[in-house]
Amino acid sequence: MRLKERLARFDKGFLVALAISLLALWPFLSIPSLPEGTDAELHIFRLHELSLLVRGGELYGRWAPDFYHGYGYPIFNYYAPLTYYLGLFVEALPRLDAVDGVKAVFVLGMLLGTVGMYGFVRDNWGRRAGYVATAVFLYAPYIQYIDPHARGVLPESFSFGVFPMALWSLDRLRRGGGHAGGRWTWVTAVFFTAAVILSHNLMGLLFFGLLFAWAVWQAISGEAAKRRSDKITPQLRNSATPRLFAALLLGLGLAAFFWLPVFLERDAVNLNTLLGAGDNYDFRTHFLSWRELLSFSKRLDWGATQPDFVFNLGVPQWILGGLGLVMLALRRVKQAAHLTFFAVAAAVLLFLMFPASTFIWETLPFLPFFQFPWRLLGATAVMLAILAGAAVPAVGKLRPFTFSLFILLPILFALPLTQPAPWPDFGPVFTGRMSEIEHKGRWLGTTSTADYVPATVDMLPRRNGNVVAPLYEDKPPDWVNWIAMPEGTAVTTETITPLHVRYTVDAPKKFRLRLFLFDFPGWEVQIDGEPAETELARPEGFIVIPVPKGHHEVEVEFKDTPPRRLAWVITAVSLAVTLLLGWRMKPNASRFTFHASRFTAHDRITLGVVLGITAVTLFILQPLGWLHYDSADFVAEAAETAVFVNFGDQIALIGHDISTKQASPGDVVNVTVYWQAERPLDINYQVFVHLLRADGLLAAQSDKINPGEFPTRQWPPDKYIRDEHYLQLPLDLPPGDYVIATGLWVQSEGWRLPVLDENGQQIGDNYVLSSLTVK
């Protein structure tokens, strides 16, 4: 097909969909670098570590040798790898680094979601439906802001882009008749199915499950349609259902190199820390309420260390998705059976975010690993977007400007989230900096809960300066325990690859070569070319190698285990079968980005309206600062009550919110306090919020080690900290008048910061925020 013909067949609706995505992409495109303090920071250092492995000859290194104070751990054996390998293509370019690689993958994920959502809904319900679905999807708060910006979770955010692409590819396979859409459709369906699994551990499991359920639904509804049809169409006669399941199975097989070792070697690492009990990683503490789900998005405050946001679905998402449900109930939508699947999926996902679903979370053993029920907001937004798109043709003919309101609604309501606070430059990325972060205790090995540590580690060892010293010179860690080396023994280290080290040993007598290296399946040792047995140093879980007297070469290398080799075989076979079947198919009549319908007035007006609101936002609303707060000078603009209370010339209380002034026993009272450092702090203070009786005795309390989950020694002096507390009133709390007070103290020493007046004189050790009447 000639270029001119290709351009003529190209669906220009994709350009409108990309225009719709511009405001969602703009923060990544307009603000250099990426911020510290979100999970994006973890992914930057993981990408950098993977780059070192690949450049050193380890094309698929499952072990991160520089993490965990240089003792290493198998993060790449257990964590979905796709986003990091995609980032490598950018990171390897001149003058670019891991920060650029991570940012590029964030952008790529949003672009894939744009193309996939538009393409899937367009093919089923028309081009205008595709526009609406794209806007509803991209400007869902969790997709647009919470996951990529507030949380910075690169793999999860990317999975929300890959899933629509996989769904669209599989749907084209389903709709393609006897040839199943041709070889291009076949290959993309298999590869995007694999990409879903390889994008994020938990979302991969969820989205693959949804794709499989969707395929089963299609098979059942297709058979039912055949039985009801007097005149069977060629498409129904040549059902593509077998190839649909074949694509899913082969996609699963392609990704086996990742998921099969995760499953078969799950007991080789510590995963218990991923499951909480009453803490931040306990799913029971993260259910949502109807009030939250139906809330409007808040204006972000650039003066806060962590701008406040709400875990909501988005009001337009509810309205337009609800309209799709109404049209479905009235049987006015095309492909009602198809759409019903997404309605059912949305209902199930919604239910799982409410406390009423606790019994399901406790019954299904894999669900607690999701940790946060609100994680399902992204998948729910996908379902609502499809419902919203399907509603468009069911409503009837709309004038172009009236139709544009369907697209403007989600964009307008999302404007407060289009302008996250500018972030400073991330700075240089190198292993020594990562080691310093570990040393400060912010995390270990790019995880915060000691997850994926080898199960043989009984006690996490402390940092050893000799091990990590080479990291500051961009050299591998020094694993040799020189202190334990017998007198007269000489050891020379040669690094073959990052996961293959040769030690040349001259020993006057037999000894144990002790390495500061966690033992784990895959580490193999050879002495003079012969396999050697190793010992385990308890409680640290380090490798110990008995070495005979004399001159020897000791090689320590990380290799594939039988489960990993089996996984690679399954992946290779799946790839060969996919390509062979694709080669035997006919070429596509047109590639997936082509569509024959012409560009109409609806399309031109939609494009103009989208570009118009984008221009107004970027060149008027954002420069004027109308979309965000910008708190400064010890003022928290978002606080309901503004105060200034001086705690020991160290920290100021600058505002507070109280959810109610009347409550009943058993109720929960939400208290939010706003703190700001008055000077750089050298002590980590703890915070308390107390409910006090009239006689001053304690009735209920909420204490935290770190106010706002942010150690005070790390507080910047120019931003405030928002600190949420939940006062659980006892069931036997007597009726009466109480007060809510807050303060700061040092738990280890048992003293409180004094409250000072304008003259610097102490007037107390807590501050009364509000009265509370208990009925």
Of residues 324 and 240, the one with the higher pLDDT is 324
Of residues 450 and 673, more confidence is placed in: 673
Task: Give ∠ CA 532-566-533 in degrees, rounded to 5.
Answer: 10
Query: Average pLDDT, whole number, for the chain?
Result: 92
Q: How far is CA 265 from the centre of its chain?
A: 24
For residues 244 and 250, what is the distance between their CA atoms, to the nearest angstrom? 10
DSSP output for 199-242: H-HHHHHHHHHHHHHHHHHHHHHHHHHHHH-SS--HHHHT--HH
Q: How far is CA 496 from CA 246, 503, 565, in A?
A: 42, 10, 22
**Lowest-confidence segment of 180-189, 229-238, 335-344 by average pLDDT:** 229-238
| Alpha helices, DSSP H, located in 61-200 | 75-78, 82-91, 98-125, 127-138, 141, 154-175, 183-199
Tokens in use for 657? 């919110």
Per-residue pLDDT at 7 exceeds 90: no
Quick one: pLDDT band at residue 450, thresholds 50, 70, 90? confident
pLDDT band for position 235 (cuts 50, 70, 90): very low
Model confidence at 231, pLDDT cuts 50, 70, 90, reads very low
**Strand ranges of the sheet holding 530-531, from the earlier edge strand across to the other edge:** 490-497, 500-507, 550-558, 523-527, 530-531
What mean pLDDT is predicted for residues 249-264? 98
Q: Judge contact between 115 and 14, C-beta under 8 A.
A: yes
Give, in order, the Cα–Cα distances in Å from 153 to each of 156, 423, 512.
Answer: 6, 17, 43
Separation between Cα atoms, residue 203 and residue 370, nearest integer Å: 9
Query: What are the pLDDT digits (tens) for 473-505?
Result: 989 999 999 999 999 999 999 999 999 999 999
Q: Express each pLDDT in 367-399 by its tens digit.
A: 999 999 999 999 999 999 999 999 999 988 888
Q: Does residue 201 surpass a pLDDT of 50?
A: yes
For residues 629 and 732, what is the distance between their CA atoms, to the nearest angstrom?
42
Question: Using only C-alpha atoms, what is the Rg of the chain?
Answer: 29
CA 260, 261, 265, 270 torsion-angle sign: negative
Q: What is the pLDDT of residue 451?
A: 84
Q: Is the dihedral of CA 355, 357, 362, 367 positive or negative?
A: negative
Q: Where is average pLDDT lowest: 12-26, 67-81, 448-462?
A: 448-462
The pLDDT of residue 772:
95
Q: With b meaning 16 or more CB within 10 Å and e meaning fewer, what string describes 133-163?
A: bbbbbbbbbbbbbbbbbbbbbbbbbbbbbbb
CB 522 within 8 A of CB 564: yes
Residue 759 has pLDDT above 60, yes or no: yes
What is the pLDDT confidence band of residue 280, given thresholds at 50, 70 and 90? confident
With cut-offs at 50, 70 and 90, classify the pLDDT of residue 401.
Answer: confident
Q: Which residues pair with 501 in a beta bridge?
A: 495, 556
For residues 28-40, give the mean pLDDT. 93
- The alpha helices in 558-673, defined as continuous H runs, are 562-584, 601-616, 622-624
What is the percent of the chain with per-residue pLDDT over 70, rounded to a whole number?
94
Percent of the chain scoring above 90 in pLDDT: 83
- Over residues 660-689, the pLDDT tens digits come to 999 999 999 999 999 999 999 999 999 999
What's the mean pLDDT in 329-343? Answer: 94
Least confident of 51-65, 577-591, 614-628: 577-591
Q: Which two tokens stand for residue 516?
A: 């500061």
Cα separation, 87 vs 106, in Å, equals 10
Task: Report whether pLDDT(87) > 60.
Answer: yes
Across residues 164-170, what is the average pLDDT?
Answer: 97
* Residue 640: band (very low, low, confident or very high) from pLDDT cuts 50, 70, 90: very high
The per-residue pLDDT for 236 is 45
Maximum mean pLDDT: which of 188-197, 443-452, 622-631: 188-197
